[in-house]
Structure 1
Amino acid sequence: MNRRYYCLFVVLFLAVLVRAAASESTFNILFIQSYTSQTPWHSDLNQGLVKGFRESGVKVNITTEYLDADFWAFNSEKVIMRRFCERARERRTDLIVTASDEAFYTLFACGDSLPLQVPVVFFGIKYPDAKLLAAHPNVCGFTANPDFDVILRHAQKIFPQRKDVVCVIDNSFLSNKGRDDFEEEWEIFQQDNPDYNMKIYNTQNHTTSHIIAAICYPRNSYGRIVIAPKWSPFLSFVGKNSKAPVFSTQTVGLTNGVFCAYDSDAYASAFMAGQRASQVLKGTSPLSIGVTEAEQGFIYDYKQLEFFHVDPDKATAAGGIIVNEPYWERYKFLFILLYPSILALLIASIVWLMRANRRESKRRVQAQTRLLVQNKLVEQRNEFDNVFHSIRDGVITYDTDLHIHFTNRSLLRMLHLPYESGGRFYEGMMAGSIFNIYHEGQNILHKMLKQVARTGESVQIPQGSFMKEVHSENYFPVSGEIVPIHSKGGITGMALSARNISDEEMQKRFFDMALDESSIYPWQFDMKTNCFIFPQGFLVQMGYDESVTTITREEMNRTIHPDDLKEIIPQFDKALTGENKNPRLSFRQRNANGEYEWWEYRSSAISGLTQDSLYGILGVCQSIQRYKTAEQEMREARDKALQADKLKSAFLANMSHEIRTPLNAIVGFSDLLSDTSGFTEEEIAQFIATINKNCGLLLALINDILDLSRIESGTMEFMFADHNLPLLLKTVHDSQRLNMPSGVELVLRMPESDKKYLKTDNVRLQQVVNNLINNAAKFTSSGFITFGYEEDEVPGYTRIFVEDTGVGISEEGIRHIFERFYKVDNFTQGAGLGLSICQTIIERLKGSISVTSEVGKGTRFTVRLPNHCE
């Protein structure tokens, strides 16, 4: 039971897969016939099966195997069947079809698993095994159960005088089943016909001579009929010599001695099996289809009817069909009609020959005339060929059916084809036989030819197309057109002219690349339309659409800078009238961004028919903005160099003054200290304090100069690490509060209980804060100097500030406050470098510094730094 459910599951699963792919897949079919390819009906079986699949719309590959069951013993048949299954498995067979009992039962008895894995469709089974069929849900098909009562009564109707029935069997399985079935039917038949006698001969139990004597000798077989439940090779030999009519249940015996077979038609059975197999391949379960009884009938051998003197009409009247009928009998009516037709045709042929002989004399005269005309046409065609061969472009003509008519030598040379044989060698070939034209990867030759033939208008080969040789993989850029050929008001063909533009295309590309690199564009002035013609790329730069190629003189003037327009218009007039032969005009033009760019225009006049007339004006224009920019930069560099020279002189003078001032104080008071006898202790202490103060000023000046030198040379080093900002500011406060002028208080203001860390350079940041505090101390005589930090509005940034209540800075001073050597008060000690150095350090720390001030109220410097700087 489990095996049965497993098989059912496998079949259903395969059905689902097959339903999804049946409409598109090609299935592999194994067709197993029980006998050999020499049997009369094997071709009908094959043809019927193929037609069944074809009319069902299923694509199949059928492999036919022949079991030859009449020759082999059952054990040998199983070995052969296993070989069939192995080969079928290698081909990935999707379904098996069997014909007759031997093939089906041997398939399931051979021991191979293939019939359990794929659907099996059978037909022609005489004795179905109900248990076997019920155990395999993947099996369906048709049976043809023998009916010996029908056979006996039919034989009685045809041969009423023959009342001795001989049943010939052997020891095979099917023969024994047939014998049992025959004996049951015989009892029923004899009850109605007690005067009939029956005898059974077994070919393997009785002697051969005994059986031959019983049915082949006229004296013994005169009143007998022979019943063959199963056809065998022995019956094939005996049947052909039997003097008693042989009735069989298998069509395989027909043409081998069987008078009549009661069976289903071989072709029809195979056709129905093909249709049923198609249903299975499309997803229908074999279990739902089941087993069907095929329709059977009587089939007669024509030669046997003649031998036993039976009228064929009587046989067909009884509901049978006739095979092996001669063509004369089958098509007797047609042959009867054929003879008069042949006679009439013979008479008509004689009449036609007589008339043809008369016409021939006239044709000879006409032929001579046509020959003269043809010679003239050949001369004209040769002249036509010579004209087309002289054309440098490749030319090929087609008729309206797209067949090649003529090719000139230039085209053949272009395609690297032999051209010595002339242009008629490829006549009659289809378009595309020797070359194709591709545009954007698509073959457009046939499309263009059909368009010309349909519209009657010429078609240009699209730009960027390639001509590809069919005989090789070579292709090259091509240009040309296809034109219609008209004759008598209609289109009789098309002519294609083409040219290999490989060299031209490369030169054009080189020229375009040179123009792109040099920003040089050619232009032309149309005297008739008063318009400028420019390349597309130039006008796009000027802000025009890509489709625009010409602009008027007025539009050109609107692109010129107003300051240059008055000077340029008269010069352009002279250039465009030819008065100035080779002018150079430089002016500014507005581009697509609305900015003005410097361009230089050159022009050249082309003379017309006379020296005073003009044919045209052409020229080139080039962007000279980079030259103008370089000129401006050089001018600015010159000005900066002059300014730097002045700054250098000012710097030396300033440094000389700044250094001399503290040195004078140091030297002067040092001389006074050489003799202290004339001074009090308070005066000596004041001298020493003055010396120390001026030493500090001199040291600060030297440090500023060194920092400025390191900044200029790029050697100022920065060491980044995490530092506690409150601790850094407290350190500055502790060092600076003792240096505050009298009356000035240094105040540190920070958020309470804030542990702010910055990743920065601790030394440079202290240097900036100290410089700002020192700078504030110079200009604050009373009040407060407040410094500290606060959070910036932008997360990740911190503001450090230094503000004072000093004299303040004017707006003019704020604009120059961070410039080198700038001093708000020239009488204040210092070189004017501190704030410039602070700005450079803060920028290196990825921050910014700003100042706000009000004269008489004070100044505030703000340093904005990121929390993490690397």
Structure 2
Amino acid sequence: MIVSLYACNSVQDKKPHNVLVIHSFNKNDSWVEDLNKGIKEAFDDKNLDTQVKEYYLSTELRTEEAKQNEINKLLDSYSSKPLDLIIVADDDCFSSFFATEHPLTHSKPVIFAGIDYVISELIEKHNHGNITGITNEPNFRQTYRLAVQLFGKINSIQIIAEDSYAGRAAINDAKTHLITIPNTVIKEDSLHQDGWEPLELESNDSIYIFVKNINKINGRQLIESMTYQPHSFCIMAKWSDFYSDLPHMGTAPFLMVNNEGFGDGRIGGYMAENYEVGYEAGIMAAKILTGTPVASIPVKAIELKPIFNWQQLQRWNIPIDKLPANSIILNMPMGIRYSNLIIYVLVFSGLFIVFVTVSLIYILNKEKKDKKLAQNLLLNKREELEVTMKSIRESVISIDNNKQIFAMNQAALDSLGLKKDIHEYIGTDIFSVFNITLRGNENYLTDIFNSLDKNYLSYQLEKGATIVTSENQSHLIEGTVSSLLTMDNYTGWIISFKDITDEFIKKELHTLAMGDAHVYAWRYNGKKDVFVFEEVFFRETGVYDNGKHTIHSDVFEGMIHPEDYGNWNKQIKHILDRKSDKLTIQIRIYINNKYEWWSFNVTYINNPALSTSFTLFGLCMSIQTFKETEENLRIAKDKAEESDKLKSIFLSNMSHEIRTPLNAIVGFSNLLTSDDNFSAEEKSIFVTTINEKCEILLTLINDILDLSRIESGLPFNPEVCNLTLIIEETLASEKTILSPYVALKKNLPKEPVFINADSLRLRQLIRNLINNSFKFTHDGFIEVGCILSKNKNLIFYVEDSGLGISLKEQKKIFERFYKTDNFSQGGGLGLSICKVIVERMGGEISVQSVHGEGSKFTVVLPYSSVIEASYENE
């Protein structure tokens, strides 16, 4: 029953779960922080809202009686505070906690964590179906094998443990493990105030296990036994802050069997990671807090990992290659840990610098050679230059220092669209014929001339350079502007260019087509039965790349949607049977954790020299966007057809709605003008009926006109309105059409609610919603309310117990011309008008309804529209 209550409470209670973590050691111990971190991150990963309280017992400074008193005092403090679960960390706290026999030790779920020496009798005695936990039991035999691996033959093992509950348990475990080693002799003694005598080794062929039961008063005597002897090592089976300096003070190597006190001078050993212990305890706690019975969660043993301290490895000259595989080395300098990587980076950097240097030298020499050649060419006579220019297909224009043309070829004349003969432009200022600009910079060509005079012999026109003629015709060009030298003196410039407008457009279109469409080349390797794709395919799609850019055919076929797999095989067989030389296959493949539509263009090479006659290859591209657009177009088409259908229904309804009152008006008008003798009462009824029918016609026409005006962007005229008063006036004016079997309820604030809105449209909105409920509610109630939400939004609602609206119809009721009942009165525009008005006011309108039970229409307006009553008072 207790376990069942735990599960029930954890499911129903939505408040944060209160967890108490009791530690044996101090808050400043590093391993305690790691354990706390593991617990909290486990709760975060499970999205569990918890309030974790840590308590540090500091057992090293307390007697057993003091520890139990402190725990009792702590647990008593929770008699009036909520507590859902207790986590007990480390051995000292574990034994003292249950020794208190406090009611909370068996009435609350308890998880023990980081327990090295679990005493089964203790758990069985105190377990009321509420205890489970994590153990990291030391393996002394494994530690012995590690010592042999590190130091060679071992003759002597010093095991140190204090005379406490956990210490005695540690000694028992050590003796149980190590006695199984062949030729092992275990000798146990204690240190007393009258001194300690060394024990004589009886045989060199035996392994002596020395167990030291010590107390804190005579601990100093133990230091004398820590003097290093060949083929020996020490183990501190139960860590204590009091003895944490022993590894530093002695000269014998210490190996570890648990994680407490890491970094105190011990080399390392097989132990559990504190973060992992805390995380596993947190996962257990999360299961219990979310309803899993404690009794169904077994005690879990954490895997022990080889963990070592770099400084101690150096101290004892232990090479890394002697350590077990997958060892974790802490405190290793970055330079040593990543030495190979640093060497690779330095070598690569050196090679890169050499490559860059050689490349720059090559480019520099080539540039010098090109400049020297250009200088030699510029020394030719102008007549020779003109002959040369005529043979050049690119446009070439020579200019002197005064920026006047002295030579040009026919290609330049054609490119610039000049109509006169070439000789008529000789001696003409260049800027009266054309100019070269760059992204709106009209001084671009002048800047080039100035830079060539000072620094360069040649200048490459930048991308986007545009030539503009005197007739304001512009073209994209590429080319160079070079200096003319005569006897080492600048005598002018040569401009060579070509029109690249068409080429640029084609290139951009090609880039857009390939880039935006994400087209990738692929081929099939029949020998290896793999598909080979471009590297960019893997990078952009996220498909796993094995480094060879290949996907095995079995894997690729597994990516194909099951419904498309048959079509893929059929089409591939079709082309392999030579029934077609190329085809396009559209399939869905699993990419980015979902299926996407792709188009594969497939063709083949028929080459008898190949081991297989057919080699498939082609292009593929994602057509997901196209498919989605196609689907959206289909939906839009369906909506258009639905809208057209609704419009037809609307016109039919309007025909009926207008014809019916018109027939009544004409009929009763004829009766009034006939010669038949009617009483005054009958004539009054006729007139009243005619007026009612006129009102109905006027309402229909006004709805159509209102919707048209609002959708056409007719401006609203905001003013300060008393929303409470408007609601009450509307209810009073519309109450006459209310069924006598319907109870009208109001839920309005005591103080008036003011809103900044167009009062005419606000009244229309409220009237339409209220009339809509009146129309479909024949018995039960109608409630109209207005409240201010916590986030200061204004909420107006109309709720009724009428006919209700089906879920399918709820998605359409705000559409124009839509009516849930085609035979009901009205044109199906009322709710459409409401939706448009609310959206124009910056709000939202929604409906909640159950067919046959009633509906609730809610309008939410932003806080900016609300004006406090105090504003009105001011």
Specify if TM > 0.5: no
Q: TM-score, normalised by structure 1?
A: 0.39
Q: TM-score, normalised by structure 2?
A: 0.39
